[in-house]
Chain A
Amino acid sequence: MPEPVRRVFGKAAPLEMDDVDTDQIIPAQFLKVLTRKGLGKYLFYRWRYDENGRPREGFILDRPEFRDSVILVAGRNFGIGSSRENAVWALMDFGIKCVIASSFGDIFYGNSVKNGLLCIRLDDETVRRLRVEASKGNLTLDIDVESEMIRLPSGEVLRFRLEPNVKSWLLEGLDEIEATFRDHGEKIREYEAKMKSFKIPRRAVLPTE
């Protein structure tokens, strides 16, 4: 159950790439875990470490001026590919609280919402401009979820939009399972009472191969 997210304030780091897939965010070998904690050290692992596990020079989030970033400004189609929720856990464990991009992979976006990682969609041009600003190493953004506004150091304000239920989810951090039962438990029972028997798998018998 995620903590409420009302405001994200802090440094932004640019990631000048489109189509960043979840395999890049966290490679498959780090999916062999039984807990979601501590995945931050594997974030963008192949870009940060070589095949022998030695740090590579120069990855953006490892540079001194970006090490404490809490906002990632990416490009188009961030988080496409595999459904692995570990991608969201790794970003959050690393300290990232918000990703700004012009589009997101659908499953990644859904996973982010469930975990309280703020994903903001802005148009291509604005995202590019933010990346350029961020690359100077001292772009601090003040993001307010309730008013759906990003305040830049210059005083400029960018507006973004969250669906109302995503917004209330972020602001309240509710237990969704409990809410589903509370609000829709009756509907679930009704569906099950009417469910056709052909939809329910019988105990298997020896098959025709």
Chain B
Amino acid sequence: MSRTVLEKIWDDHVLARRGEDEYLLYVDRHLTHEVTSPIAFEGLRARGRRVRRPDLTFALMDHNVPTVDRALSVRDEHSREQMRALARNAMEFSITLFDYFSPWQGIVHVVGPELGLTLPGITIVCGDSHTSTHGALGALAFGIGTSEGEHVFATQTVWLRKPRQMEVVLEGRFQGYATPKDAILYVIRELGTGGMIGHATEFRGEAVKSVGVEERMTLCNMAIEGGARTAIVEPDDKVYRYLEGAPYAPSGEDWEEAKRYWDTLKTDGGARFDRSYRLNVSKLEPQITWGTNPAMCIGVSESVPDPKEVEDQTQRRMVERALSYMGLKPGQRIEGTPIDAVFIGSCTNARLSDLVMVARLVKGRKVSPDVRAMIVPGSMLVKRRAERMGLHRIFMESGFEWRNSGCSMCIAMNEDRLGPGERGVLTSNRNFENRAGPGSRVHLASPLTAAASALEGKIADPRNFDLVSLDELELEWVSPWVERNILEPLRGG
């Protein structure tokens, strides 16, 4: 029988079924961080339970961590306590920990793939909704709650409802200034924040195949904002190349055997999806959110809605409320709106390929004096790789702050935040009320749109700026890994 890639991995991990559609799945990898884990560990301790497979469990610190100099102490007492609790728990339960000071520290959804903890065909869970990101490598990955996390610690299994399946087919090729971030924002705009509830979304089509693994992560990451339970992309040679030589990836005979298995993880020709959505990305324009959820989104050259034109009463009230919260006038153009800050970071858009794109737009140009602009690399490894290439010099000469890694302004649990009423263009994934700090006004966009806005000091169309070529970046050191996995896909390879 024809099966999708998701069904193949699902079937390989199902141990049991209960009720109508709940299945017990074995968990090959459990990633955990300081915020959603302490109460799960507490639960284990209270009943004298251990972590069943510490060798399949990895902990790191990302949500709370300051992004300033690591030699400085963590000033926020509550953040420090959660970080210390994770360190104690990791030691007590014999789990590998990448702590605040580790050179491998970073955002969990950036670190997993780059260390080879994320592999095609494995099941991954993490107490974080954006765990779907790992699906870009062909893993079956689910964000879970704290009680579920405790269950995984103790049993290495998780009870899941089998999601219905949806395909989002991205046809054509990304041209110039439209990026996968713009595509996923557009999909959510069309389908709504609940449009994919109960579904696992497989991203398919030429546009998905033609981009690099990191760009696919942006798609899978944000599928959650459309309500999807998870997202996945068929693994291919690009994924293998991305993982080859990574510290925890299999090697030697294991690597060959793994690849033979991964080659079978394709969606069969006759496989059926419950739903299908198609989009040709060739003519897509850069997208930006205007409101307080990711579906409240328009093209950067468009105008925000006018509540008078919204028929449904609840929807109209929500539009009114969102415009008022965001300090925007009904029907106004979004381009040209003055901003206070730009944040390039988060598990959505803070990988090396994102930073290269930003460098191509900002090289030799200056950030507006009215704007605080910061770049927070997705991991310390991303940071080191960028520095070897000399990207940090391009950013700092333009006037960007060059920070250490963490979730930062995307969730504002550390000091990086917008003040009340401040407006920022962020490359992250959520623009909910107060998300980047009390009273913060967040516009979600691609790294290119964020960078262009930083230069102009207002919401800007990146198409106003010529991109310098990769050669003109005059990169200082390009490792073979970077050449193959980052630069080649950007050259359209």
Residue B38 interfacial (CB < 8 Å): yes
A31 partner residues in chain B, CB cutoff 8 A: 35-36, 63, 413
Residue B210 interfacial (CB < 8 Å): no
* Nearest-neighbor residue (CB-CB) of A110 within chain B: B145
Within the assembled complex, what's the spacing in Å between the Cα atoms of A16 and B317? 9
Q: Within the complex, what minimum Cβ distance (angstroms) separates A123 from chain B?
A: 14
A-B contact pairs, 21 of them (CB 8 A): A19-B293, A28-B63, A29-B412, A29-B413, A34-B39, A77-B197, A83-B127, A85-B147, A88-B145, A106-B198, A107-B129, A107-B144, A110-B144, A114-B145, A191-B26, A195-B28, A200-B56, A204-B248, A206-B247, A207-B245, A207-B381
* Nearest-neighbor residue (CB-CB) of B479 within chain A: A209
Given A17-B314, A34-B82, A83-B36, verify A198-B16 contact (CB < 8 Å).
Answer: no
Q: Within the complex, what minimum Cβ distance (angstroms) separates B214 from chain A?
A: 15
Interface size on A (CB < 8 Å)?
65
Within the assembled complex, what's the spacing in Å between the Cα atoms of A24 and B432? 8
Within the assembled complex, what's the spacing in Å between the Cα atoms of A104 and B194? 9
Q: Within the complex, what minimum Cβ distance (angstroms) separates B281 from chain A?
A: 25
B 217-249 to A, binary, CB cutoff 8 A, 1 in contact else 0: 000000001010100000000000000011110
Residue B19 interfacial (CB < 8 Å): yes
Contact A27 B24 (CB under 8 A): no
User: Which 3 A-B pairs have CB atoms at the shortest separation, nearest pair first?
Assistant: A165-B19, A32-B78, A77-B194
Residue A138 interfacial (CB < 8 Å): no
B 450-482 to A, binary, CB cutoff 8 A, 1 in contact else 0: 000000000000000000000000000001110
Contact B24 A111 (CB under 8 A): no
Out of A75, A107, A163, which one reaches B314, CB within 8 Å? A75
Within the assembled complex, what's the spacing in Å between the Cα atoms of A188 and B435? 40
Given A23-B435, A180-B24, verify A111-B194 contact (CB < 8 Å).
Answer: no
Given A23-B432, A83-B127, A83-B143, verify A188-B156 contact (CB < 8 Å).
Answer: yes
Residue B303 interfacial (CB < 8 Å): no
Of A85, A111, A183, A187, which is in contact with the most chain B CB atoms at under 10 Å from its CB? A85
Within the assembled complex, what's the spacing in Å between the Cα atoms of A191 and B13? 8
Within the assembled complex, what's the spacing in Å between the Cα atoms of A103 and B198? 10
Contact A208 B479 (CB under 8 A): yes
What residues of chain B have their CB less than 8 Å away from a CB belonging to chain A? 13, 15-16, 18-22, 24, 26, 28-29, 35-36, 38-39, 42, 47, 49, 53, 55-56, 58, 63-64, 76, 78-79, 81-82, 85, 115-117, 119, 122, 127-129, 143-148, 150-151, 154-157, 159, 161, 193-194, 197-198, 225, 227, 229, 245-248, 250-251, 254-255, 257-258, 261, 293, 295, 314-315, 317-318, 381, 384-385, 388, 411-413, 420, 430, 432-435, 438-439, 479-481
Contact B56 A34 (CB under 8 A): no
